[in-house]
Amino acid sequence: MKPPSGGSDRQKQRVIMLSLVSNTCLVIIKILVGLATGLVSIIAEAVHSANDLLTSIIAFFGVKKSSEPPDESHQFGHGKVEVITGTIESMFILGLGIYIIYEGISGFFAEKPHEFIEIGIAVMLFSGIVNLFISSYMIKRGRELRSIGVEVDGEHLRADVITSFGVAAALIIMKFTGWHWLDPAAAIIIGLWILQIFVRLIKKLMFQNLDAALDENELKKIRDIIDSIPEIKSYHRIRTRQGGSTVFIDMHIKVDPQLTVETSHEVTRNIEKLLGEAFGDVNVLIHVEPFSPEKLP
């Protein structure tokens, strides 16, 4: 069973659109301020936000494509498109981290005048606050909608929060101490932070791409649902995986051999209904067997 997911698909697209709008505004502001101040840390942040904008566009089309219904060539749906676009996003994150570290190292050897530092501080604080709210919302909604694409995009924005506040702190210290080396040092720290985000995200994407089972908490949820149905005498071979936002579950259940085919079918429909309520977008396959106390699995 796979219940209609049009509503959740539209919700995912709206969340990504929020990221697109905010990133577009922040990119323009940071580029202008970075060029005006000559601060490499702000220019690095502008590049970071431009990267966020590009990956949000990729995520938007990934979420849109993954919501397409199954067809003859893709009978299990297009959910893994989100994994593919998430992997592409991660590659951009990797390249961004390396580039910003390079710019930071170069900044130690460049003699550039720094002007309007106060404006740079204000912009970084504003950017951090905006992205704190948007990234928290995206990560929360991504997990609720079981969308790896939305969650990855939210995690990407979360990096902006840390780096924006970090740059603001470095600029404040630099303003009062005259330690100009803090500007490129902040850029290098931003790059290293971005690289650790890449490592964390690629692990999560590989986990889903390799059809790993759901975690123990979710498996317990499945077992609790099965245990709540009195007609099921025993069960075994529960197998799970996730493709995009769709959860795939198959299992073998044992029922009283005296039950009619119609009653057994109603039992499976009840399982599908309860799993759909618990996990949202699910694809369930159930094999029914006659119960025999002498042949417990």
* Residue 190 scores a pLDDT above 80: no
Final residue before a domain boundary, out of 177, 209, 241: 209
Regarding whether 151 and 269 lie in a shared domain, the answer is: no
* Residue 188 scores a pLDDT above 80: yes
142: how many CB neighbours lie within 10 A of its CB?
Answer: 25
Regarding whether 277 and 201 lie in a shared domain, the answer is: no
| CB-CB contact of 94 with 138 (8 Å) | no
Residue whose token pair is 């795939």: 248
| CB-CB contact of 99 with 210 (8 Å) | no
* Residue 252 scores a pLDDT above 90: yes
* Residue 113 scores a pLDDT above 90: no
Provide the pLDDT confidence category of residue 295 given band limits of 50, 70 and 90.
low
* Residue 4 scores a pLDDT above 50: no
Instruction: Write the CB contacts of 201 (distance below 8 Å, at least 6 apart in sequence).
Output: 86, 89, 90, 93, 152, 155, 156
* Residue 275 scores a pLDDT above 80: yes
Percentage with pLDDT > 90 across the chain: 11
Domain extent, residue 14, equals: 6-209
Rounded Cα distance between 140 and 69, Å, is 25
Residues 151-165, mean pLDDT to the nearest whole number: 79
Average confidence score pLDDT of the chain: 80
Rounded Cα distance between 295 and 297, Å, is 6
Q: In this structure, what token pair is assigned to residue 112?
A: 């550039």
Residue whose token pair is 């720290």: 189
Provide the pLDDT confidence category of residue 269 given band limits of 50, 70 and 90.
very high
Regarding whether 239 and 108 lie in a shared domain, the answer is: no
Angle 8-12-15 from CA coordinates, rounded to 5°: 135
Provide the pLDDT confidence category of residue 2 given band limits of 50, 70 and 90.
very low
* Residue 1 scores a pLDDT above 50: no
Question: For the chain, how many structural domains are there in total?
Answer: 2
Residues 152-164, mean pLDDT to the nearest whole number: 79
Final residue before a domain boundary, out of 163, 193, 209: 209
Regarding whether 284 and 141 lie in a shared domain, the answer is: no
Q: Is residue 268 part of a domain?
A: yes
* Residue 77 scores a pLDDT above 70: no
Instruction: Please report the pLDDT score of residue 266 as a whole number.
Output: 92
More confident site: 115 or 145: 145
Q: What is the CATH number of the domain that holds 11?
A: 1.20.1510.10
Residues 28-36, mean pLDDT to the nearest whole number: 83
Q: Find, among 197, 219, 209, 265, the residue nearest to 51 by Cα.
A: 197
Instruction: Please report the pLDDT score of residue 203 as a whole number.
Output: 79
Instruction: Please report the pLDDT score of residue 226 as a whole number.
Output: 92
Q: Find, among 45, 54, 82, 56, the residue nearest to 194 by Cα.
A: 45
Regarding whether 247 and 200 lie in a shared domain, the answer is: no
Instruction: Please report the pLDDT score of residue 20 as a whole number.
Output: 83
Instruction: Please report the pLDDT score of residue 208 as a whole number.
Output: 67
| CB-CB contact of 120 with 42 (8 Å) | yes
Q: What is the CATH number of the domain that holds 253?
A: 3.30.70.1350
Regarding whether 227 and 199 lie in a shared domain, the answer is: no
Q: Is residue 1 part of a domain?
A: no
Instruction: Write the CB contacts of 30 (distance below 8 Å, at least 6 apart in sequence).
Output: 42, 43, 45, 46, 49, 123, 127
Q: Is residue 14 part of a domain?
A: yes
Percentage with pLDDT > 70 across the chain: 86
- Return the biggest CA–CA distance within the chain: 86
More confident site: 79 or 123: 123
258: amino acid identity, one letter: Q
3-class secondary structure, 73: coil
Provide the pLDDT confidence category of residue 280 given band limits of 50, 70 and 90.
confident
Final residue before a domain boundary, out of 209, 224, 257: 209
Which residues of 90-188 form beta strands (DSSP E)? none
Out of 57-71, 103-117, 128-142, 186-200, the most confident range is 128-142
3-class secondary structure, 12: helix
Provide the pLDDT confidence category of residue 244 given band limits of 50, 70 and 90.
low
| CB-CB contact of 63 with 145 (8 Å) | no
